[in-house]
Chain A
Amino acid sequence: MKFSDLLRPTPAGLYCPPGDFYIDPVSPVDRAVITHGHGDHARSGHGAVLATRETLAIMAVRYGADFAAATETAAYGTTLTRGEVKVMLYPAGHILGSAQCALSWKGMTIVVSGDYKRRRDPTCTLFEPVPCDVFVSEATFGLPVFRHPPDAGEIQKLLKSLKQFPERSHLVGAYALGKAQRVICLLREAGYDETIYVHGALMNLNALYESFGVALGSLAPATTDTKDKFEGRIVIAPPAAIADKWSRRFADPLPAFASGWMRVRARARQRHVELPLILSDHGDWDELTNTFEELKPREVWLTHGNEEALLRWSALNGIEAKALSLVGYEDEEA
């Protein structure tokens, strides 16, 4: 038996022949397991979708209730059977409802981790390491330059700037699903209890997070029908909105961006960011390599991102690794 008999890359995504289903397929398929709700992993138009309750709810908010012909909910840690394969979902720590998918068949186990991080996140369950023969990992921040600093320090940067520049609206670009809610939660943990203003695109997702018990505190839409120019306020919006006409309603906006890419100065400068906040929902170099060391799988497969340095690291550390170079997974807003 080869590992590739249990799981193999195809143009539509990772396919499991003995279970006859795909994981995070990029084009419509009959049966799919979806690891988490980000648009590049969770697409509409599949036949049957298996995912956590949270992920299914996110897909319904994004695509409408009829995003798939049929759905099935899997809780973390319960075993389901697909053909000859046992399927279990485990927390991935990436965003609300994100899951790793473990496949067991004929004595071998492959874990497809989806996107993941190892640090604590108040909006989702902590990543759970699962012993396996093959660990399928993302490589978004697979370069040693990416070591995300502690979240609390980044939030303090924002709060300090707010004190230093009380006349400016602090516009925080944050991916609408996951990052935005995490930034809000981290601000609340830091003791910031003022109203936080949000772009319209975030409203539904914020409500969804709250319905799953993630408390976000006082939020209000950043609308133009008031005289308020949002001086000294925190406004959270999708990154694209900050560079757009939308941002004109604010008093001397101070553009911030919450992303792991902000670790590299040229990236921040390209986007005209004045306050880069290094907050990522993807594991950094240490999280990725520590996970490989902790799990000691027989093979590591890298799906998408910066694979080259991780392949080199694996070679130096005696771990067999290969790049699957899957296409269709974007990481620009990570």
Chain B
Amino acid sequence: MKAFALLLDRLSFTPARNGKLTLLRDYLRDAPDPERGWALASLTGDLSFDAAKPAMIRKVVQARLDPQLFALSYDFVGDLAETVALVWPRKPGANAEPELPEVVDALRSAARREVPQILEHWLDALDADGRWALLKLLTGGLRVGVSARLAKQALAQLGNVPAADIEELWHGQTPPYEDLFAWLAGRGEKPSADTPGRFRPVMLAQALDAPGDFEKYQAADYAAEWKWDGIRVQAVHEGGQRRLYSRTGDDIGKSFPDVLEALNFEGVLDSELLVLEKGHIESFGDLQQRLNRKTASADLMRKFPAGIRAYDLLLDGTDDLRRAPFAERRKRLEAFVAKLNDPRIDLSPLQPFADWEALTHLRAHPPQGDAQKAEGLMLKRWDSIYEAGRPKGPWFKWKRDPHLVDAVLMYAQRGHGKRSGFYSDYTFGVWRTEADGSRALTPVGKAYFGFTDEELARLDKFVRDNTIERFGPVRSVRANADFGLVLEIAFEGLQRSARHKSGVAMRFPRVHRIRWDKPAREADELSTLEKLLEKET
């Protein structure tokens, strides 16, 4: 348990992705089987217990420690699992520390009423870090910032194999993954990826570099379609298994029983998950209501009915089409979707175009309807096979130009790692006219990239020179009609948000330009964003 506890501890304090990867890879290399497999499963969410409810843990600790001392401690720490881990008064002469596999075995076989007693023994045997890890595991919330994607990447690094290999065979594996580790260490065969209902690593598009790429590529070689603003999903029905995978191979089917129910076919579709109402797509904000939920209530599904818009066919019956050219896959896809005849699964239509100039015009002037809500265009070579990864040439994405708004810098926060000595995270606001006619800045978003190192140094200096208040790592910066720094912010879209005072939330905001020259009073108004919001939703 010690090594696992230390891993969780370090992961929880390490913000950088590369740092997390190093910690994970080193742990998976050094820890023995089956411990590392259980640890991996707990991090990827493939192992959770929910064995202990907070009330039970509280009861166990209050039998050991004076309730008043516990209350004072909890008040100071603020997190139940952490408080218990820290205050637990160990009885002397406790047993040896339990190892992770032992904990997993015991929890799988124990009856619920036995858990408190087992827990007490373990808490006596472990040190504070071990107790914290145990309680996090028991309550089913590790929350140390490790996605399944990251864990798979660490595995790929460990075995020096492509991440797509791991993604493809992942769904055939079960914890504690001993065959997988044996293969990665060069001690065993590659585990079979031939599992029905498995995830197929996806093909990704390069960003189009217009107009330079127009010189290099022929318009006639490509098909174009709109780039829909939803979630890329792989919809699978194979060997009796229905699955809905995110583009990184996470199974998100639980949140979308309505979509799973519609997968009345044998095959694998590459498609966009959207909220679809009578054949028309709703905003991304609506889709967000459906994401990351353990279940979906009937009411939620009625309010935000989900569907998929198909754009590729990887498996038709038992035919693996991935080596076939896009032109052939497309023909098969059109027939496949037509035969389904289900409003929850429709076809992403191709957009014919004569030459690059015509395509440029189309992107700038999308026709009425769903196209207005598209993020841009996708280009796919007619002769391209479906290959995992992001090859240069066969597929391109050509996003719409971002929205721009002039906002005023209001708060700045210190960054992490290389930026720990810099104020690099900026909260910016726009003007709002109050009922009495006065104007005040209201925060509308936060951006922490889009500038060069030289610009960062200047921004940092501006923040330090114009700080009016500090709260921990955050500084409030002088910003009023007569003084302030205007940041031109680029963003992809706008959503209504009840959590933000301004009522709007930006997607993917970044600093586009720093307007050292522009007076703060001339920054944009909230009403400008509100108008855009009406157009978007």
| Residues of A in contact with B (beta carbons under 8 Å apart) | 143-147, 149, 157, 161, 164-165, 242-248, 252-255, 263-266, 268-276, 306, 308-309, 312-313, 316
Cβ-defined partner of B77 (8 Å) among A145, A165, A246, A270: A145
A145 near B420 with CB under 8 A, answer no
Considering the chains assembled together, what is the distance between the CA atoms of A274 and B68 in angstroms? 32
Contact in complex: A165, B87 (CB < 8 Å)? no
With A145-B83, A274-B14 as contacts: A245 and B421 at CB distance below 8 Å: yes
How does the 8 Å CB contact mask read for B63-90 relative to A, with 1 for contact and 0 for none?
A: 0011011001100111100110011010
Which of B15-23, B39-47, B436-444 is the contact stretch? B15-23
| Interface-facing stretch out of B356-364, B393-401, B410-418 | B410-418
- Contact (Cβ within 8 A) A165 B22: yes
A contact residues around B66 at 8 Å (CB): 312-313, 316
Distance between A115 CB and nearest chain B CB, rounded to angstroms: 20
Q: Cβ of B178 < 8 Å from any Cβ of A?
A: no
Chain B residues in 8 Å Cβ range of A164:
22-23, 26
What is the distance, in angstroms, from B438's C-beta to the closest C-beta of chain A? 35
10 closest Cβ pairs, A-B complex: A145-B86, A247-B421, A248-B421, A144-B87, A309-B72, A145-B73, A274-B13, A252-B418, A312-B68, A245-B421
A276 and B72 in contact, given A144-B86, A245-B421, A252-B418 (Cβ under 8 angstroms): no
Identify the closest chain B residue to A309 (Cβ): B72
Kindly provide the distance from the CB of B24 to the nearest chain A CB, expressed in whole angstroms.
11
The answer to whether B241 has its CB under 8 Å from any CB of chain A is: no
Cross-chain contact A276 with B421 (CB below 8 angstroms): no
Chain B residues 137 to 168 lying within 8 A of chain A, measured CB to CB, are: none
- B422 within 8 Å of A (CB atoms): yes
Q: Which chain A residues border B316 with CB–CB below 8 Å?
A: none
Q: What residues of A have a CB within 8 angstroms of the CB of B251 in the complex?
A: none
Per a CB cutoff under 8 Å, which of A144, A246, A263, A276 touches B65? A144
Chain A positions within 8 Å of B6 at CB level? 157
CA distance A244 to B464 in the complex (A): 11
CA A145 – CA B79 in complex, angstroms? Answer: 12
B77 touches A243 (CB 8 A): no
A-B contact pairs, 15 of them (CB 8 A): A146-B86, A147-B128, A149-B127, A243-B421, A243-B473, A244-B421, A254-B417, A264-B86, A265-B79, A266-B79, A269-B13, A272-B473, A273-B13, A275-B10, A309-B72
Verify if B32 is at the interface (C-beta below 8 Å from A): no
A244 partner residues in chain B, CB cutoff 8 A: 421
Question: CB distance A145 to B26 under 8 Å?
Answer: no
Q: Chain B residues near A143: list those with CB within 8 A.
A: 72-73, 76
Residues of B65-124 at the interface with A, using a CB-CB cut-off of 8 Å, are: 65-66, 68-69, 72-73, 76-79, 82-83, 86-87, 89
Q: Which A residues lie within 8 Å of B421 (CB)?
A: 243-248, 253
Nearest B residue to A171 by beta-carbon distance? B420
In the assembled complex, the CB of A168 is this many whole angstroms from the nearest CB of chain B, namely: 8
Taking the nearest CB of chain B, how far is it from the CB of A230, in angstroms? 13
- A275 and B73 contacting across the interface, CB-CB below 8 Å: no
| Partner among B127, B418, B420 whose Cβ is within 8 Å of the Cβ of A242 | B420
Contact partners of B22 in chain A: CB under 8 A: 164-165
Are B420 and A272 neighbours in the complex by a CB distance under 8 Å? yes
Q: A263 to nearest B CB, angstroms?
A: 7
| Chain A residues, CB < 8 A from B422 | 248
B26: chain A residues within 8 A (beta carbon)? 164
- Bound complex: CA A254 to CA B16 (Å): 11
B76, A270: Cβ atoms under 8 Å? no
Q: With A144-B89, A243-B473, A308-B72 in contact, is A165–B417 under 8 Å at CB?
A: no
